[in-house]
Amino acid sequence: MPLYQAREFAKKQGLDLVEVAPMAVPPVCRLMDYGKFKYQQTRKERETKKTQKLSLLREVRLRPKIGEHDFEAKARAAKRLLEGGDKVKLTIMFRGRENAHPELGLRLLEKMSDSLKEIASIERQPIKEGARLHLILVPQPSAVKTKVKEEEKQEEDAKT
């Protein structure tokens, strides 16, 4: 119908004439309460934000002369962070004469990435910045999904 007729009809009904698809030929308009429409849109956006999880960059710090048990504890911590959906930045901190042997840090990062290769992949290769060596790992989607499914199952079991 022509625009002037649609405006009159909307005015009689006490509604707003809202253009839904401006690129269509002819443009598509709808009669609705615009305030209610905007409110519903913001509620939908809020709901989608609730379901989205932000991926944070978490850091696990290591030293080149770390003990085996300490290394395993750091690996467990990194695994827990990756399963939670966060990126993990592995940092090797060098002091004094340790700076002369960056290959020790590279071996340590390689060992850590090998221990986490089932649940993570390397996003950025090792980079030496000053007295630190960095490596960034990202979780593989399959590892995060299985963790979420396990948590949902535990919640269901707790409810019953």
Q: Are residues 46 and 85 in the same domain?
A: no
Residue 153 lies inside a defined structural domain of this protein: no
CATH number at residue 71: 3.30.110.10
Residue pair 57/84 in contact (Cβ under 8 Å)? The answer is no
Q: Are residues 69 and 139 in the same domain?
A: yes
Q: What is the domain extent for residue 114?
A: 57-147
Q: Are residues 22 and 74 in the same domain?
A: no
Residue 158 lies inside a defined structural domain of this protein: no
Q: Are residues 88 and 106 in the same domain?
A: yes
- Which whole number is the average pLDDT over 82-102? 90
Q: Are residues 75 and 127 in the same domain?
A: yes
Q: Are residues 64 and 32 in the same domain?
A: no
> Which stretches of the chain are DSSP H helices?
3-13, 34-51, 68-83, 102-115, 141-159
How many other C-beta atoms can be found within 10 angstroms of the C-beta atom of residue 70?
12
Q: What percent of the chain has pLDDT over 70?
A: 92
Question: Per-residue pLDDT for 23 more than 80?
Answer: yes
Question: Per-residue pLDDT for 33 more than 70?
Answer: yes
**Which tokens hold the place of 88?**
């993990």
Q: Which of 38, 26, 34 is nearest to 10 (CA)?
A: 34
Residue pair 90/100 in contact (Cβ under 8 Å)? The answer is no
Q: Are residues 66 and 143 in the same domain?
A: yes
pLDDT class for 76, splitting at 50, 70, 90?
very high
Q: Are residues 28 and 43 in the same domain?
A: yes
- Which whole number is the average pLDDT over 58-70? 92
With residues binned 3-state (H G I as helix, E B as strand, rest as coil), the percentages for the chain, rounded to 5, are 50, 25, 20
Domain boundary among 15, 35, 51: 51
Q: Are residues 13 and 63 in the same domain?
A: no
Q: Are residues 70 and 102 in the same domain?
A: yes
CATH number at residue 19: 3.10.20.80
Alpha-carbon distance of 137 to 139, in angstroms, equals: 7
The answer to whether the pTM exceeds 0.85 is: no
Tally the domains of the chain.
2
User: Which residues, in sequence order, are CB contacts of 14 under 8 Å at separation 6+?
Assistant: none
Query: What are the backbone dihedrals phi and psi of residue 117, each rounded to the nearest 5 degrees, phi first?
Result: -65, -20
Residue 160 lies inside a defined structural domain of this protein: no
pLDDT class for 94, splitting at 50, 70, 90?
very high
